[in-house]
Amino acid sequence: MKKALVTGGAGFIGSTVVRALLDLGVSVRVLDDLSTGTVDNLDGLRRVEFLQGDVCDASAVIHAIAGVDTVFHLAASVGNKRSLDNPSRDAQVNLLGTIQVLEACRAARVEKIVYSSSAGIFGELKTLPIAEDHPLVPETPYGVTKLAAEKMCLAYTQLYDIRAVCLRYFNVYGPRQRFDAYGNVIPKFVFTLLKGGDIEVYGDGQQTRDFVHARDVAQANVKAALATEVTGVFNIGSGTRVTINDLIRILRANGLEFSPTTGPTRSGDVRDSLADISSARMAFGYKPSVDLARGVGEYVAWAKGEMDHKLA
């Protein structure tokens, strides 16, 4: 791998993938429309070529892919709630945008595409741990479009000389993950607490999640790309699960003192989540390296820095 394109490279996970590639000495181009990402996420990085553009725009994608051997496709309309608010845009970006990327890859003879999929494609979780052959019954437009895009990547691998790996991320967290209306639980808790707000825990707090650090997700992307012959779908989590009550204990250990209130269980929320990551380990040596206590400590420090920066 000499030159890579990272779509969505100005986003939370994309900017972490960019850093992992630069560490390897790969030269990196980013295509991002800055709809949810920001160029601040690429601050201080040298050797990154930034192109502002939409993955739905064929000419922007063709231009971005010229001269690259590997594509990391992360640009997406992200999350269940956003897809319920705007299902058409979700489908446009996640499915049609992925087709634009695949078509440009085919025309430019790109060797490998690593697609960012999501555990949201499983729908209601029926078995634990969740292996790749778990039933796929997505329950939101986001889950449906991420699954359709995954299938499209695999179809291109069957049809053409292009190798696709689809990585199904579980709950990703880490620096540069900002909190907005669509936020995941760690940014939501940390930023709410730093702003002096109150936390509500849905149900008894004993529901479990598999939180995986963005640096481990980036590691998976790089290793999947370097394993040139590998194609297919792989779960990417930490392979461990913690309860929301455990997470609260870790936040307290990082100096965030609070007493959460308890609310009703949210309809549609899964009770337990845990990725079976053995396929990724066997196929390309994926091995999570950031444990939750360390990762959350680092995240709290980053979030405090963000708040100070905004106040300054």
Site for ligand NAD in 71-110 (CB under 6 A): 74-78, 93, 97
SS3 167: strand
Distance CA 37, CA 44 (A): 16
CB 28 within 8 A of CB 7: no
**Angle at 10 (CA atoms; ends 163, 294), nearest 5 degrees:** 90
If binding means CB under 6 A, how many residues of this protein chain bind ligand NAD? 31
**What values do phi and psi take at 222, rounded to 5?**
-65, -45
Task: Tell me the residue type at 93.
Answer: V
d(Cα 310, Cα 301) in Å, to the nearest integer? 14
Closest approach of ligand NAD to the CB of residue 10, in Å: 4
142 in catalytic set: yes
Determine which residue in the list 18, 26, 33, 233 makes contact with ligand NAD, applying CB under 6 A: 33
C-alpha of 232 from chain center: 17
Side-chain half-sphere CA neighbours of 28 within 13 A: 30
Kindly indicate which of the ranges 50-58, 129-137, 286-294, 300-308 contains the residues binding ligand NAD, using the contact rule CB under 6 A: 50-58
Check binding of 54 to ligand NAD (CB under 6 A). yes
Q: Per rule CB under 6 A, is residue 13 in the interface with ligand NAD?
A: yes
Q: Which residues pair with 173 in a beta bridge?
A: 213
**Is residue 141 involved in binding ligand NAD (CB under 6 A)?**
no
Nearer residue to ligand NAD within complex by CB, 10 or 224: 10
If one asks whether residue 56 binds ligand NAD (CB under 6 A), the answer comes out as yes
Considering only residues 165-194, where is the footprint of ligand NAD by CB under 6 A? 169, 171-172, 184
DSSP code at position 96: I
Catalytic residue among 142, 156, 169, 299: 142
Return the active site residues: 142
Residues that bind ligand NAD (CB under 6 A): 7-8, 10-14, 31-37, 54-56, 74-78, 93, 97, 116, 118, 146, 169, 171-172, 184
